[in-house]
Amino acid sequence: QKEVEQDPGPLSVPEGAIVSLNCTYSNSAFQYFMWYRQYSRKGPELLMYTYSSGNKEDGRFTAQVDKSSKYISLFIRDSQPSDSATYLCAMSASGGSNYKLTFGKGTLLTVNP
Amino acid sequence: GAGVSQTPSNKVTEKGKYVELRCDPISGHTALYWYRQSLGQGPEFLIYFQGTGAADDSGLPNDRFFAVRPEGSVSTLKIQRTERGDSAVYLCASSSRDRGTLHFGNGTRLTVT
């Protein structure tokens, strides 16, 4: 079993839909949780960063972390065609090795106009 | 300002050849990371530099892989005796301090024929 599991999709939704993306993990040492967006042939760019459990909102994006279930989610409201990309969850442990990110496989999202 | 720059953007080489991949981090960033992203997968950690020294090279797959950062800025990832399984996108990232937000470059797409 991989440390981080992410359904690769692909996911196709109409413009304006609410999108839910999820990851599960097995390493209870993970304390820092991130969502990256990656456009085709580009590097990942950080969207959301959360420490430990709870919710964080930034515009149309909401990140949720449930450490008891080892489950994290990203919600995108009012999705736009420009949101079409691969979404990667990433996480790291606390302490001396928290620079080392473990990524999920990524979910390919297409938002259709 | 300029982001992380990686050259070349594409590299095709024959099995058994030696390659060098270059990373120019964001000016002033002391931490530098190399990740490898195979097709359909998330990035996997290779090596982390703090300044000139490799603080963690535990992700390098074998001794054919080596990375340097002699002056604490530009880094070069070197792969000897390339194999077809080395084909992937090699991503470089930098951060302004240890464990800060990672800023990724667009990667070098390596194809070994």
pLDDT tens for the 113 residues of chain A, in order = 789 999 878 999 999 999 999 999 999 999 999 999 999 999 999 999 988 888 999 999 999 999 999 999 999 999 999 999 999 999 998 766 667 899 999 999 999 99
pLDDT value for B2? 84
User: What pLDDT does residue A65 have?
Assistant: 96
How many angstroms separate the CA of residue A43 from the nearest CA in chain B? 4
Mutation target among B6, B29, B34, B37 for the A interface, most CBs of A within 10 A = B37
Peptide bond into B8 cis (omega under 30): yes
Task: List CB contacts of A54: < 8 A, sequence separation 6 or more.
Answer: A64, A65
Query: In this predicted structure, what is the pLDDT of residue A97?
Result: 63
| Strand A107-112 relative to strand B31-37, pairing | unpaired
For chain B, say whether A101 makes contact (Cβ under 8 Å): yes
Choose among B42, B99, B104: nearest Cβ to A106.
B42
Predicted local confidence at residue A56, as pLDDT: 93
Name the B residues in 34-73 with CB < 8 Å from any A CB: 35, 40-45, 48, 56, 59
List of chain B residues with pLDDT < 70 = 1, 98-99
